[in-house]
Amino acid sequence: MKKIGILTSGGDSQGMNACLKTIINMAERYNYEVMAFIGGYKGLAEDNCKIVTSKDADLYFGIGGSFILSGRYEPFKQKKEMNKALSVYKKYKLDALIVLGGDGSIRAANDLNALGLNVVVIPCTIDNDVFCTSKSIGFDTAVNNAVNAIDNIEQTMKTNGRVLIAETMGRFCGEIAMHAGLCSEADIIMIPEKKQSVEKIIREVGKQLNAGNDSPTVVLSEFQLDINDLAKKIEETYQKECKAIVVGYVQRGGTPTVQDKLLAIRMGVGAMDCVLNKNFGNVVSLIKDEIKFVPFDKAIKAKYKFNENLWQTFLELKKFKTEKKKKQN
């Protein structure tokens, strides 16, 4: 019987389970047995695996996380670990390996592909920092979760006249903060793509307060500054209470949105198409709303295209709101 392996690597993202179910369903349709490697590349290197069926996957379609577990595995960068993975792949006589993960997972998949494994990758990362695809699985849900959290916190901040600083995930990519900030009507957005000094952010808060905005909201992407230190400086500068909140792992959990489920289904089908047509060494990507297959080398070299139009939209809305506040006061 033909066999494929599946694993989820790196941080989990909502929609992984929906994608896994799609792959398993299609595999069974074409008489493939599916072997899941538990916990990502570590499971592959250490031969920790089990056969999974559509019955196993049925319970998890609408749930966040990964039912076959995920994780980062630093030793996998070493050649010894790669060779162990090759041995496991050959041991089970796999016809292909489908990996769900982010940019680091693609690089590892490329190394495995060079060793002779037949690998296909599906981009799953809430950070949306796989640049060969316009959207990665989990991003839409993460933004929705971040917006809901910020909206809820803003209600009590406005009631008490406090400044809010909300930090989102994103690693070194500002996609979550940009989208969440715009959709939660933040007054100030700080992202790596548009670097601003702490002093400028403090001045921007002051401009909002002077314009009559008693409770400005700052949304920023992680790893740029210490938000508690920023809150303290704002309080010292304006004698205004300021709360710093890390939105955190609420962004990763929960039921995937319809958009993420649809993307997960489409990419799962695309990955199985690659397997059936022996089109290996590719990242399944969404390009202009079509599923395309991008070779690993091109996917790794793909450059980030920041959405300048979205940033300009934010600036225009910010200008309009500030002018409106001034007139009202």
Q: What is the mean pLDDT of each run of 10 residues along the chain (329 residues)?
A: 96 97 97 98 97 94 94 87 96 98 96 97 97 98 98 96 97 95 97 95 96 96 96 98 96 95 98 98 97 98 95 91 77
pLDDT of residue 315: 93
Asked if 95 is an active-site residue, the reply is no
Given a contact cutoff of 8 angstroms between Cβ atoms, the answer to whether 5 and 92 are in contact is yes
The pLDDT of residue 321 is 81
Buried b (16+ CB within 10 A) or exposed e, 3-25: bbbbbbbbbbbbbbbbbbbbbbb
> Which amino acid, 113?
N
pLDDT digits (tens, 9 = 90+) for 185-216: 999 999 999 999 999 999 999 999 999 999 99
Neighbours of 200 (CB within 10 A): 12
The catalytic position among 103, 127, 129, 140 is 127
Confirm whether 2-138+256-301 and 140-252 share one CATH topology: yes
Which amino acid does the sequence have at 82? M
- Give the CATH H-level superfamily of domain 140-252: Phosphofructokinase domain (3.40.50.460)
pTM for this prediction: 0.95
Predicted pLDDT at 214: 95
Whether residue 264 contacts residue 137, with contact meaning beta carbons closer than 8 Å, is answered with yes
What is the pLDDT at residue 319? Answer: 87
Query: How wide is the angle at C-alpha 239 spanned by C-alphas 226 and 325, nearest 5°?
Result: 95
Residues 82-113 as b/e (b if ≥16 CB within 10 A, e otherwise) read bebbbebbeebebbbbbbbbbbbbbbbbbbbb
- Rg of the chain over Cα atoms, rounded to whole angstroms, equals 22
* Burial letters 292-328, b for 16+ CB under 10 A, else e: ebbbbeebbebeeeeeeeebeebeeebeeebeebeee
The domain locations on the chain are 2-138+256-301, 140-252
For domain 2-138+256-301, the CATH class is alpha beta
Report pLDDT digits (tens) over 91-124: 999 999 999 999 999 999 999 999 999 999 999 9
**Helix %, strand %, coil % of the chain (to 5):** 50, 20, 30
